[in-house]
Amino acid sequence: MRVRTAAFALLVLILSACQSPSPQSDPAPPPPHERVLAGYFTEWGAYGRAFRVKNLAASGAAGRLTHLLYAFGKVDGGRCGVGDPWAAYQKPVAAADSIDGVADTTSTPLRGNFGQLWKLKGAHPGLKILWSFGGWTGSAGFTAAAQDPAGFAKSCHDLLKDPRWAGLFDGIDVDWEYPNACGRQCDRSGRESLAKVLAALRAAFGKDALVTAAVPGDVKKLGAVDLSAAAAQVDWLGAMTYDYFGAGNEDVRTAPHSPLTTYPGIPRAGATVEATVTQLLQQGVPASKLLFGVGFYGRGWTGVRSATPGATATGPAPGTYEKGMEDYKVLAGRCPPTGTVGGTAYAQCGAQWWSYDTPDTIRGKVAYARSRALGGVFAWELSGDTPDGKLITALSS
């Protein structure tokens, strides 16, 4: 019996050795994760900008995006609400502005942007649409939300499931500027505030819905909250890696507002995409759950006499909608690039100096995202692109 047992054991060892991979063979690569290409569509674009849902189809953006974020719903008293009901679902859309060429009538059950988003989703069934809440001017109500996360989450769930548009939104995006830090207003909800709000949303919406959040680009603000705990609750965190510098922020010297990497003479150390991404990874955010943003606009100064970054200026350059800010689609023709620095472009035209990303610099940023195995990239915001979608095309590369 012992001889037979020993012989059997020897046979098992031989067979195991034959079936085991050679020590020199390469290990199987991890399965690739689906990369996200997201873009923000602003509710107010339907007014002065005349940028409508139809433009997403005409530019080709709808066919390239994996996710569309509708900005913004409001957060008032710790509860989710519609930002602008007229633009969102009440405003009749003329035939010329409609995706399918059919005008809204008094009998159309859902008009405005929401009605057009339904049509867009029908034409692009793979596109996921999220409703984003907050933003720079709409984040004051998050402090109250952090005091009653469950109540906040229920209000958001009920709003997204409203019978008038139930099924339109695949999830929710939180753009809190900023938890436990200062933006337009200051919050002191504590390091766990963002994670608690996101956990409540995950519980309310369930595991199959999308729950995402925007986080600061400023590395100092990133340290104010537990981002590892926040990341555990979401599909992704999107770092707002733009507006590091700008004349509107009272910077008196020119500097690119969204550099990928540092460069000699940068006014503030750590004010780069690379530094923000590195900080988030070091704080425990998984690379597969991390996105960073690309601005489809430029920041500009006037009273500038030198094309080299770091020149003195007298103030912000004039912009169509805001001083010191202009869409890429305008700048590309009016003030084309004269140089690059830190992986982004800049331009001097007369006394004006602008910094912005171009298709070439965007492709460099996409390559960087791939080199760090990040979850993807996103655009803020889509109306700044050219009518034929040059930037979103580069971003999808």
> Token match 């195991």: residue?
16
Closest CA to 324 of 354, 299, 349: 299
- pLDDT, residue 249, reads 63
Q: What is the pLDDT of residues 145-197, one digit of tens each?
A: 999 999 999 999 999 999 999 999 999 999 999 999 999 999 999 999 999 99
DSSP 59: T
Number of structural domains in the chain: 1
pLDDT category at 216 given cuts 50, 70, 90 is very high
Amino acid at the residue 319: G
Residue 287 belongs to some domain of the structure: yes
CB atoms near residue 360 (< 10 Å):
12
pLDDT category at 1 given cuts 50, 70, 90 is very low
Least confident of 8-22, 124-138, 151-165, 239-253: 8-22
Average pLDDT over residues 10-19: 38
Among the listed residues 43, 177, 326, 381, the single catalytic one is 177
In the chain, what's the furthest Cα-to-Cα distance?
A: 97
DSSP 165: T
Structure tokens at 229: 């705990």
Report the alpha-carbon distance of residue 178 to residue 185 in Å, rounded.
8
Report the alpha-carbon distance of residue 395 to residue 397 in Å, rounded.
5
Q: What is the pLDDT of residues 341-372, one digit of tens each?
A: 999 999 999 999 999 999 999 999 999 999 99
Please check whether residue 175 is in contact with residue 134, taking contact to mean a CB–CB distance below 8 angstroms: yes
- In this model, does residue 9 exceed pLDDT 90? no
Least confident of 3-7, 37-41, 125-129, 217-221: 3-7
Closest CA to 58 of 26, 98, 93: 98
Which residues, 6+ apart, have CB-to-CB distance to 93 below 8 Å?
52, 103, 104, 111, 112, 115, 116
Residue 210 belongs to some domain of the structure: yes
Residue 19 belongs to some domain of the structure: no
Helix extents (H) in 215-343: 219-222, 227-231, 273-282, 328-334
Residue 192 belongs to some domain of the structure: yes
Instruction: Look up 177 and say whether it is catalytic.
Output: yes
Range of the domain at 233: 33-295+357-395
- pLDDT, residue 362, reads 98
Average pLDDT over residues 300-315: 96
pLDDT category at 18 given cuts 50, 70, 90 is very low
Please check whether residue 179 is in contact with residue 187, taking contact to mean a CB–CB distance below 8 angstroms: yes
In Å, how far are 37, 111, 142, 379 from 179, measured between CA atoms? 25, 34, 8, 22
Least confident of 19-23, 88-92, 377-381, 386-390: 19-23
Residue 261 belongs to some domain of the structure: yes
DSSP 87: I
Please check whether residue 114 is in contact with residue 165, taking contact to mean a CB–CB distance below 8 angstroms: yes
- In this model, does residue 270 exceed pLDDT 60? yes
- pLDDT, residue 188, reads 97
CA R_g for the chain: 24
Residue 304 belongs to some domain of the structure: no
pLDDT category at 397 given cuts 50, 70, 90 is confident
Using the CB atoms, write b or e for 86-121: b if 16+ within 10 Å: ebbbbbebeeebbbeeeebeeeeebbbbbbbbbbbb
Report the alpha-carbon distance of residue 298 to residue 329 in Å, rounded.
10
Using the CB atoms, write b or e for 138-170: b if 16+ within 10 Å: bbbbbbbbbebbeebbbbbbebbeeeebeebbb
Amino acid at the residue 65: L
- pLDDT, residue 250, reads 65
CB atoms near residue 84 (< 10 Å):
18
Closest CA to 247 of 140, 353, 133, 156: 353
Give the three-class secondary structure for 224: coil
Q: What is the mean pLDDT of the chain?
A: 92
pLDDT category at 33 given cuts 50, 70, 90 is low
Percentage of residues of the chain with pLDDT beyond 90: 89
pLDDT category at 6 given cuts 50, 70, 90 is very low
- In this model, does residue 111 exceed pLDDT 90? yes
Residue 73 belongs to some domain of the structure: yes
- In this model, does residue 113 exceed pLDDT 90? yes
- In this model, does residue 13 exceed pLDDT 90? no
Report the alpha-carbon distance of residue 201 to residue 157 in Å, rounded.
8
The residue ranking higher by pLDDT, 34 or 389, is 389
Bridge partners (DSSP) of residue 149 are none
Residue 75 belongs to some domain of the structure: yes
Please check whether residue 57 is in contact with residue 99, taking contact to mean a CB–CB distance below 8 angstroms: yes
Report the alpha-carbon distance of residue 71 to residue 175 in Å, rounded.
9
Please check whether residue 257 is in contact with residue 240, taking contact to mean a CB–CB distance below 8 angstroms: no
Please check whether residue 53 is in contact with residue 41, taking contact to mean a CB–CB distance below 8 angstroms: yes
Q: What CA dihedral angle connects 107, 112, 115 and 120, to 10 degrees?
A: 140
Q: What is the CATH number of the domain that holds 389?
A: 3.20.20.80
- In this model, does residue 30 exceed pLDDT 70? no
